[in-house]
């Protein structure tokens, strides 16, 4: 069953996460930072990241993180990955860490980096996304990327990137992408109590939290599986070779047949049949079982 999820950044202003939780939202993906468009491609922390993380966790939401990318080379992706890892340190995330891949800023604007992600070409863009995700993944995070259906279908090689979880953006009544995805962002104009103005709305289709916690990813310590319970030793009732919970004439008859070589007993039956404890099944054991069935032996 799909769960509701919002994604937020400094653009959403102050958020009352207690009201968000009360409104039925259990998941939130928080922007941790972004790369600037200038020629220096500055790395920036979202100025609401810390307070959004703190308040969302305290309200009981499951939390993930995303970073808005402007990388145009694998070296840029390395810089962004290292920066993101520094922002995530000492925090725990129940949802994946996502690389936000949608940059198509106006390259003609003054002072803007001379090439945007949309114009990189499929092979280069795929390599950039793969580089970021694999680097963050190797650092111990469940990693994926965010992008639109159009980008997935036209700009990215999903035969390379399908190993990472996809957070898919398609603001429509239904998804037209034919591949797999864990989260669908279906609207940018949602309304949720506790947030002023529009907010991005999503459905989460996958249980991320269980494997993240079990494997010790995203800042969590790995869970130690409990050892399997020791099987209980079966209780042997002396004389009860047919294991019906009582000693009867039928048990005595079976013991007598075993003494004559006409019955084959299991090890547990042999233990139950050896009434006198001499290590053998004899007519004496049958006699003692018969006495026990009559209440003459304990």
Query: Tokens for 298?
Result: 């304990």
DSSP strand E in 42-139: where?
Answer: 43-45, 62-68, 97-100
Residue 37 · residue 43 · CB < 8 Å: no
CA–CA separation, 13 and 264 (whole Å): 80
CA–CA separation, 216 and 224 (whole Å): 10
Residue 31: HSE in the Cβ half-sphere, 13 Å Cα cutoff: 22
pLDDT surpassing 90 at residue 231? no
pLDDT surpassing 70 at residue 243? yes
pLDDT surpassing 70 at residue 282? yes
Residue 164 · residue 110 · CB < 8 Å: no
Position 235 scores a pLDDT of: 78
- Residue intervals in the chain for CATH 1.10.1330.10: 232-298
Residue 43 pLDDT class (50, 70, 90 cuts): very high
CA–CA separation, 171 and 187 (whole Å): 5
CA–CA separation, 209 and 104 (whole Å): 32
pLDDT surpassing 60 at residue 107? no
Position 212 scores a pLDDT of: 97
Burial readout 58-71 (b: 16 or more C-beta within 10 A, e: otherwise): ebebbbbbbbbbbb
**Residue 155 φ/ψ, nearest 5 degrees:** -115, -15
DSSP strand E in 195-295: where?
Answer: 199-204
CA–CA separation, 248 and 90 (whole Å): 68
Query: Tokens for 179?
Result: 């591949």
Position 283 scores a pLDDT of: 86
Average pLDDT over residues 129-147: 98
Position 59 scores a pLDDT of: 98
pLDDT surpassing 90 at residue 200? yes
CA distances to 205, 243, 246, 282 from 266, in Å:
52, 12, 18, 16
Percent of the chain with pLDDT over 70: 95
Which range has the worst mean pLDDT, 72-86, 111-125, 204-218? 111-125
The whole-angstrom distance between residue 236's C-alpha and the CA centroid of its chain comes to 45
Q: With respect to CATH, is domain 3-215 assigned 3.20.20.80? A: yes
Average pLDDT over residues 66-75: 94
**DSSP at 272:** H
> Which phi-psi region, left, alpha or beta, contains residue 200 (left: φ > 0; alpha: ψ -120 to 50)?
beta
Residue 6: HSE in the Cβ half-sphere, 13 Å Cα cutoff: 25
Which range has the worst mean pLDDT, 153-162, 232-241, 249-258? 232-241
Which range has the worst mean pLDDT, 41-55, 115-129, 173-187? 115-129
Residue 106 pLDDT class (50, 70, 90 cuts): low
Largest CA distance in the chain: 107
**Residue 256 φ/ψ, nearest 5 degrees:** -65, -40
Average pLDDT over residues 132-145: 98
> Which phi-psi region, left, alpha or beta, contains residue 194 (left: φ > 0; alpha: ψ -120 to 50)?
left
pTM confidence score: 0.75
Q: With respect to CATH, is domain 232-298 assigned 1.10.1330.10? A: yes
> Which phi-psi region, left, alpha or beta, contains residue 197 (left: φ > 0; alpha: ψ -120 to 50)?
left
Which range has the worst mean pLDDT, 43-52, 190-199, 274-283? 274-283
What is the DSSP code string of 2-42?
-EEEEEE-GGG-S--HHHHHHTT--EEEEEEEEE-SBTT--
Most confident of 97-106, 130-139, 242-251: 130-139
pLDDT surpassing 60 at residue 168? yes
Residue 142 pLDDT class (50, 70, 90 cuts): very high
Average pLDDT over residues 151-159: 97
- Residue intervals in the chain for CATH 3.20.20.80: 3-215
Average pLDDT over residues 259-288: 87
Position 252 scores a pLDDT of: 85
Residue 194: HSE in the Cβ half-sphere, 13 Å Cα cutoff: 18
């Amino acid at each position: 069953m799909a769960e509701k999820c919002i994604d937020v950044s400094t653009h959403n202003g102050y958020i009352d996460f207690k009201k968000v939780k009360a409104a039925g939202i259990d998941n939130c993906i928080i922007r941790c930072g972004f790369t600037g468009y200038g020629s220096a491609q500055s790395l920036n922390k979202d100025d609401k990241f810390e307070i959004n993380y703190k308040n969302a966790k305290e309200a009981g939401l499951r939390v993930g993180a995303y970073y808005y990318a402007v990388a145009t080379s694998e070296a840029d992706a390395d810089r962004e990955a290292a920066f993101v890892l520094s922002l995530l340190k000492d925090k725990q995330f129940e949802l994946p860490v996502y690389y936000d891949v949608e940059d198509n800023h106006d390259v003609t604007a003054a002072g803007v980096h001379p090439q945007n992600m949309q114009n990189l070409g499929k092979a280069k863009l795929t390599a950039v996304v793969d580089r970021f995700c694999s680097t963050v993944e190797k650092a111990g995070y469940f990693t994926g990327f965010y992008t639109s259906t159009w980008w997935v279908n036209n700009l990215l090689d999903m035969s390379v990137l399908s190993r990472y979880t996809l957070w898919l953006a398609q603001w429509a009544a239904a998804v037209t992408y034919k591949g797999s995805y864990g989260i669908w962002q279906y609207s940018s104009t949602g309304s949720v109590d506790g947030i002023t103005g529009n907010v991005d709305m999503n459905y989460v289709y996958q249980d991320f939290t269980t494997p993240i916690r079990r494997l010790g990813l995203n800042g969590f310590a790995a869970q130690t599986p409990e050892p399997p319970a020791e099987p209980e030793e079966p209780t042997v009732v002396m004389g009860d070779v047919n294991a019906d919970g009582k000693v009867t004439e039928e048990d005595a008859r079976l013991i007598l047949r075993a003494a004559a070589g006409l019955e084959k007993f299991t090890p547990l039956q042999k233990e139950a049949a050896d009434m006198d404890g001499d290590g053998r099944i004899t007519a004496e054991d049958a006699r003692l079982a018969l006495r026990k069935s009559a209440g003459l032996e304990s």
